[in-house]
Structure 1
Amino acid sequence: MPITVDAGDIIAGFALLMSAYATWRTTSFNEKQKSLIESQEKLNNLLLEKEESEAASGKKADLGASFVKLGSNKHRLKVWNKGSATARNIRLEFPEGNDVLMQSDVDEKFPLESMEKFQSVELIASVHMGTKSKHVIRIVWEDDAHNYNEKLVYPTL
């Protein structure tokens, strides 16, 4: 029994091949699209985390301190706020003792009611030959993010 192939059979076979190719292309396209959607979801999550952390950092104050030399023999301890928020109820504590700052100056200025962004306070330091070069100061404050913040700084002369 001879098999006869006419034009309709050739067209049907070609249509079958084209249909298989289209199915394969659609499947691979769907896989790429799924991968793209997953990467967009990861990117959106990262952007959301970044926005949340920026919003949280906008509510934080960041205080620091360092000694500043004025002229040939004058020193000051400069306490500053480089954070985005206002610091409130700022206190200084000296875990290893205070032998360089004038206690009357500290008592007069601290606890400080508030310190805006980029604001600073200077305290008079009395430096002499027996003064150690490294000091430990604990800065305690409140801000919009937390009611209790603490930072140990180690200013050096």
Structure 2
Amino acid sequence: MLTVIVSAAALLVSIAAFVHSVRSSKVQTELTLREIELVRIQIANEHEKKKSVVSADVSARLYSLGSHKWRVRTYNRGPGNALNVSIASDNTGYIIDSEKNDKLPLRSLESGHSVDLLAAIHLQSKRKAEITLVWMDTSGKEHTKEVALTF
């Protein structure tokens, strides 16, 4: 009778240990899946950081140096260099053609640098006009950006 009680107790302990190991295995599997997902997210973030280091962000704005002295400043505010920077469409009439032909396309516009173009603003000029900037980043991808110039 004692052996039956001991064997029954051993059976209960082994069943409890088995249930505990199954639950632990499920928890461990769930944790492993979460770790895999976190690693995927970290890898994706690293790829995005690498892309952002390569990409340039070229923009332009119209500004005044005083009475009747206007400039269009084209600048790169992204972390990467911009290559072959040009103005694809300029139906504003703001930028003087000889100025645009002499200075553009820029072979390279480094991060934080800019180039100023002379602008001709008169009483019949539109208050708001758009230009299209075109450039390539160092990976060779071409970008375009519509910029509204206002005065």
TM-score by length of structure 1 reads 0.86
- Structure 1 equivalent of residue 64 of structure 2: 69
**CA deviation map 1:11-61 (0-9, x unaligned):** 221111111111111101110111111111111111111111221222222
Alignment length (residue pairs): 151
CA deviations over 1:87-111 (Å, ceiling 9, x no partner): 122111225x131122222222111
Choose between structure 1 and 2: higher strand proportion: 2
Q: 1:30 pairs with 19, 25, 28, which one?
A: 25
Q: Is the CA contact (8 Å cut-off) linking 2:89 and 2:131 kept in structure 1?
A: yes
Structure 1 position 72, deviation (Å): 5.2
**Cα distance, 1:142 vs. partner?**
2.1
CA distance in 2, matches of 1:107, 1:25: 78
The range that moved more, 139-148 or 16-25, is 139-148
Is 1:125–2:119 an aligned residue pair?
yes
- Residue identity (%): 28
Deviation at 1:74, TM superposition (A): 3.4
Unaligned runs of 5+ in 2: none
Correspondence for 1:86 among 46, 66, 81: 81
Distance in 2 (alpha carbons) for counterparts of 1:146 and 1:154: 26
Structure 2 counterpart of 1:10: 5
- Give the drift of 1:73: 4.7
4+ residue segments displaced more than 6 Å: none
Instruction: Name the CA distance, whole Å, in 2 between partners of 1:41 and 1:73.
Output: 62
Q: Distance in 2 between matches of 1:35 and 1:155?
A: 54
Q: Distance in 2 between matches of 1:147 and 1:9?
A: 79
Are residue 135 (structure 1) and residue 118 (structure 2) matched? no
1:58 and 2:85 equivalent? no
Matches of 2:51 and 2:87 in 1, distance apart? 25
Does the CA-based 8 Å contact 2:56-2:78 persist in structure 1? yes
> What is aligned with 1:155?
149
Distance in 2, matches of 1:22 and 1:155, equals 74
Structure having the higher Rg = 1
Paired residue type of 1:155? L
RMSD between superposed Cα atoms in Å? 1.8
With normalisation by structure 2, the TM-score equals 0.89
DSSP-derived class of the 1:80 partner: strand
Query: Deviation string for 1:117-149 (max 9, x for gaps)?
Result: 111111222222211122211111222222532
- Tell me the distance in 1 between the aligned counterparts of 2:140 and 2:34: 35
SS at match of 1:138: strand
